[in-house]
């Protein structure tokens, strides 16, 4: 497939609202991300932490994001999503590569994330970039329809030191 014209750049303050609108749209799918509607767009816009945030843009439109929440314990926790019509075009890979590079530069020793077991695209994307399954949290999330969904934990070690207690 021809490369789609998109660019990856760090998130900015003015991205907050479009990001929150995209987040709300993806939550409507009730499938890949944990949040479900209703999303309070104004509150969500205010909550983004811009450190460790990268956005994918096509022209003026924000079509995806990845954020790395830096923990005080040296690892970063990833969240990401791509607008439905842009999936399968390499946007997720480009964002993940930017986040991994940022995490290395920032001295994080590990990246972690949680993904639903049915999210084949997500799991394949993370495996492709070196993440491995580390465990399953059974019936972790209660959905608005009452179902209890498992979560798969995945991780990518960026630097290794065997210093267990």
Ligand X SMILES: CC(C)(COP(=O)(O)OP(=O)(O)OC[C@H]1O[C@@H](n2cnc3c(N)ncnc32)[C@H](O)[C@@H]1OP(=O)(O)O)[C@@H](O)C(=O)NCCC(=O)NCCS
Give the footprint of ligand X on this chain (CB under 6 A): 26, 32-33, 80-82, 87-93, 113, 115, 119-122, 124-125, 128
Q: Between residues 26 and 99, which has the closer beta carbon with respect to ligand X?
A: 26
Determine what percent of the chain falls in helix, strand and coil, rounding each to the nearest 5: 30, 35, 35
Query: What's the closest the beta carbon of residue 119 comes to ligand X, in angstroms?
Result: 5
Q: Between residues 11 and 92, which has the closer beta carbon with respect to ligand X?
A: 92
Q: Between residues 124 and 148, which has the closer beta carbon with respect to ligand X?
A: 124
Dihedral sign (CA 101, 103, 108, 112): negative
Q: Quickly count: other Cβ atoms within 10 Å of residue 123's Cβ.
A: 17
Query: What's the closest the beta carbon of residue 130 comes to ligand X, in angstroms?
Result: 12
Helices (H), 28-90: 41-47
Query: What's the closest the beta carbon of residue 159 comes to ligand X, in angstroms?
Result: 23
Contact 147, 139 (CB under 8 A): no
């Amino acid at each position: 497939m021809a490369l789609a014209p998109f660019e990856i750049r760090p998130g900015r303050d003015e991205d907050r609202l479009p990001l929150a609108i995209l987040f709300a749209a993806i939550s409507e799918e009730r499938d890949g991300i944990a949040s479900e509607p209703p999303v309070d767009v104004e509150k969500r816009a205010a909550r983004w932490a811009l450190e460790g945030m990268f956005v994918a843009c096509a022209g003026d439109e924000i079509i995806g994001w990845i954020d790395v929440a830096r923990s005080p314990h040296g690892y970063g926790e990833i969240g990401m999503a791509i607008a439905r019509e842009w999936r399968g075009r390499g946007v997720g890979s480009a964002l993940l590569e930017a986040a991994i590079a940022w995490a290395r530069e920032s001295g994080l020793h590990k990246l972690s994330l949680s993904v639903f077991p049915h999210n084949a695209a997500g799991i394949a994307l993370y495996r492709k970039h070196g993440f491995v399954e580390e465990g399953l949290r059974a019936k972790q999330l209660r959905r608005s329809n009452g179902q209890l969904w498992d979560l798969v934990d995945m991780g990518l070690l960026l630097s290794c030191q065997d210093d267990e207690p």
